[in-house]
């Protein structure tokens, strides 16, 4: 396995690289965001481990490039000393698959890498999902209505993708926080409601389109064809 590692602290990097190589992981180490961006078109790798904040920029630039050019088959882990919820949400919303708060624990890092490796190998998404007038393309991160693409942010697409994968099922806010926002918490936030409302408007989930994103008060949401919408008593 080839791993791209972005870390400007040489002392920390040396320790991590040594442990990764013991685990038979080949490491391509970078200390600057711009150097990695310059090399991206010519290097081959299976997974990325990125420090979030570096002197010449943030890792979100790299994540965006990888998602736009390579797609979503490459797992991206972010490691940062910053552990506040806002930063974690931002990194995951930008397209990171995982977030580790420093100091990095080697055994945990290796376990996370192995977990993402298995997932990347086994969980190949379908080429497309058809539902009424909508077609969703997981690998291209695109959804169309009557053949016309709908412009969505990374987070919005992750949300609609999860809803399509679970069409007809009631999904709770904590479930969305865990699998879309990737926050393990029982706290329900208004962020979910606001994002759902925005998605509902952008994708035109209503009676006219035939696909309804229903709010189930006190529980969560359900995406269903109009004829299958359950009326709350």
Q: What is the pLDDT of residue 24?
A: 93
224 falls within a domain? yes
State which of 80, 99, 122 marks the end of a domain: 122
- Structural domains counted in the chain: 2
233 falls within a domain? no
**206 pLDDT more than 50:** yes
CB contact burial 189-199 (16+ within 10 A = b; e otherwise): bebbeebbeeb
d(CA 221, CA 87): 26
Specify the 3-state DSSP secondary structure of 58: strand
d(CA 93, CA 38): 24
Range(s) of the domain holding residue 147: 129-228
Specify the 3-state DSSP secondary structure of 96: coil
Mean pLDDT, residues 33-43 taken together = 90
The pTM (predicted TM-score) of the whole model is 0.56
**188 pLDDT more than 60:** no
State which of 106, 122, 138 marks the end of a domain: 122
CATH classification of the domain holding 44 = 3.40.50.2300
pLDDT digits (tens, 9 = 90+) for 139-156: 788 999 999 999 998 889
**233 pLDDT more than 50:** no
């Amino acid at each position: 396995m080839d791993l791209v590692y972005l870390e400007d602290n040489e002392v920390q990097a040396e320790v991590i690289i040594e442990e990764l190589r013991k685990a038979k992981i080949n490491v391509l180490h970078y200390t600057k965001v711009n150097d990695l961006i310059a090399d991206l078109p010519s290097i081959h790798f299976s997974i990325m481990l990125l420090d979030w904040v570096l002197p010449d920029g943030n890792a979100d630039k790299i994540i965006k490039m990888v998602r736009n050019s390579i797609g979503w088959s490459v797992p991206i882990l972010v490691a940062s000393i910053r552990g506040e919820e806002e930063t974690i949400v931002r990194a995951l919303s930008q397209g990171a698959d995982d977030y580790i708060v420093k100091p990095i624990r080697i055994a945990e890092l290796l376990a996370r890498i192995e977990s993402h490796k298995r997932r990347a190998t086994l969980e190949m998404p379908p080429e497309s999902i058809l539902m009424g007038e909508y077609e969703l393309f997981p690998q291209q991160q695109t959804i169309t209505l009557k053949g016309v693409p709908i412009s969505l942010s990374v987070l919005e697409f992750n949300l609609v993708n999860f809803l399509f994968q679970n069409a007809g099922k009631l999904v709770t806010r904590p479930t969305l926080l865990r699998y879309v926002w990737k926050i393990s918490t029982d706290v329900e936030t208004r962020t979910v409601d606001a994002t759902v409302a925005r998605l509902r408007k952008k994708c035109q989930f209503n009676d006219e389109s035939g696909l309804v994103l229903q709010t189930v008060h006190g529980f969560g949401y359900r995406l269903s064809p109009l004829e299958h919408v359950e009326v709350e008593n």
